Amino acid sequence: MCRLPLASVVLFTVMACASGETGLRQTEARPGCAADNGGLRLGPEFCALVVADVGERVRHIAVRPNGDVLVSVASRPEGEPTGGIYVLRDTTGDGAMDVQSRFGASNGGTGLHIVGEQVWFGYDDAIVRYTLPEGALDPTGGPDTIVSGLPADRSHRAKSIAIGPDGRLYVNIGSPSNSCQAPDRQPGVPGQDPCPDLENRAGIWVFDANRAGQTQADGERFATGIRNAVAIGFSGDGQLYAVQHGRDNLAQNWEYTEEASAEKPAEELFRVNQGDDFAWPYCYFDPELNRRVMAPEYGGDGQEQGRCAGTEDPVFAFPAHWAPNDLLFYRGDQFPARYRDGIFIAFHGSWNRAPLPQGGYNVVFLPFNAGAPLASYDVFADGFAGETVTPGEADHRPTGLAEGPDGSLYITSDQNGRIWRVMVRPATQ
């Protein structure tokens, strides 16, 4: 059965149906770019086009070898259908996804990972796996529930996922609180010590990727002390990395200046190994001092290291409150050589940098090799937010990243549901 085309792109319904939905493109030529790069600001050697405007909360993304684009969709408060996974296909070679299918729309989520015909999807409280045959738009049957009953109350519910080179499933389970206070986010309230949130949250757990019927008790806590890492992924040499959403409310709840609270703590890039402890909630990383210090909830004065001395340091520290939501190690050869093995990070954008301007709402690139940054980061793509750089009024907020089979970079926004494809600018443009 021919799928309905996307209403927001040029329609080629007849050609889509005539293709027989084999999943093969009619042409392998790289498409041209939009004159305005789809609203993005890029370096002169790059250009972009909008491949789809889904109009929903599209989160993480994956691209199959045949060019089909899969995106996860988060649940919305009301309206049907909600959540699930879109499969988007370009049957004409112009870059626009003119055919769509959708499955699993009974629930929404964030995490998305593909290995061959297997598609893992991270609900807020479970991880499921579909079988999607090569070239197909729909899975064969319903999903297998790999892990159920994951904690999803209060804050930081999104489950981001990655399949490691060992074939196991790695799951971020974010903290339910800002800094382990009870009640949460209240002025002058000390943190709980030890923090009970660390028992089943605020870390990365690992599971058997292919065994159905697991619960959190069947998994293993791989690393702890991570407040929330929506951005997790593996480098080409098989090392797990994560970027943490740092804590909030230093000025609102403690005697920090508003300017200091806007700039602290850093958003931290971690190299994650078995048994690591990155010290949340007891510590945070101060980018001005370039070290961890004790959190005020645990007696810290903004200077003292105390129990934080000797804890795991980040590989790199990014500006505060930018909200990292995905990372990608670039392995293609379309982009210039300096991008090979470097890290792209999608920053969703801040809400709490006042009185300073809000920040993030961009995709940055960090040159990287042999487990270490080669330089500081560059803002690779900007302009997502448009004229008003605040969460509620931004046009778009970067959320997901994927590399296409030709080395193009795909970027999603969960605000207004846009998907871009970034390429090296053709010589004729």
Question: Tokens for 153?
Answer: 């109350």
CA nearest to 408, candidates 72, 90, 30, 24: 30
In the block, residue with structure tokens 């070239």 = 135
Contact 312, 270 (CB under 8 A): yes
Under the banding of pLDDT at 50, 70 and 90, the label for residue 214 is very high
Residue 16: is its pLDDT beyond 50?
Answer: no
Which helix (H) or strand (E) is 424 found in, with range? strand 418-424
**Residue 167 zone, left/alpha/beta (φ > 0; ψ -120 to 50; rest):** left
Residue 319: is its pLDDT beyond 70?
Answer: yes
User: Bridge partners of 112?
Assistant: 121
Q: Which residues of 93-106 are buried (b: 16+ CB within 10 A; e: fewer)?
A: ebbbbbbbbbbbee
Measured CA distances, 348 to 242, 243, 344 (Å): 15, 12, 13
| Secondary structure of residue 71 in the 3-state scheme | strand
Give me the pLDDT at residue 30, please: 81
pLDDT digits (tens, 9 = 90+) for 99-126: 999 999 989 999 999 999 999 999 999 9
Give me the pLDDT at residue 23, please: 41
- Whether a cis peptide bond, with omega within 30° of 0, leads into 44 is no
Distance from CA of residue 144 to its chain's centroid? Answer: 23
Give me the pLDDT at residue 52, please: 98
- Whether a cis peptide bond, with omega within 30° of 0, leads into 190 is no
Q: Which residues of 43-67 are buried (b: 16+ CB within 10 A; e: fewer)?
A: eeebbbbbbbbbebbbbbbbbbeeb
Could you give the CA distance from residue 62 to residue 117 in angstroms, rounded to a whole number?
12
pLDDT digits (tens, 9 = 90+) for 30-85: 888 999 999 999 999 999 999 999 999 999 999 999 999 999 999 876 666 689 99
pLDDT digits (tens, 9 = 90+) for 265-279: 999 999 999 999 999
| Secondary structure of residue 182 in the 3-state scheme | coil
Question: Tokens for 76?
Answer: 């919305």
Q: Where are the beta strands (DSSP E) in 154-289?
A: 161-163, 168-173, 203-208, 220-224, 231-234, 240-243, 267-272, 283-286
Neighbours of 80 (CB within 10 A): 7
User: Bridge partners of 415?
Assistant: none
Q: Which residues of 279-303 are buried (b: 16+ CB within 10 A; e: fewer)?
A: bbbbbbbbbeeeebbbbbbbebebe
Residue 369: is its pLDDT beyond 90?
Answer: no
Could you give the CA distance from residue 335 to residue 331 in angstroms, rounded to a whole number?
9
Domains of the chain: 53-88+100-424 (2.120.10.30)
Q: Which amino acid is at 332?
A: G
pTM of the predicted structure, to 2 decimals: 0.93
| DSSP-assigned letter for residue 249 | -
pLDDT digits (tens, 9 = 90+) for 237-251: 999 999 999 999 999
Question: Tokens for 48?
Answer: 């972009």
- Whether a cis peptide bond, with omega within 30° of 0, leads into 77 is no
Please state the φ and ψ torsions of residue 308, each to the nearest 5 degrees: -85, -15
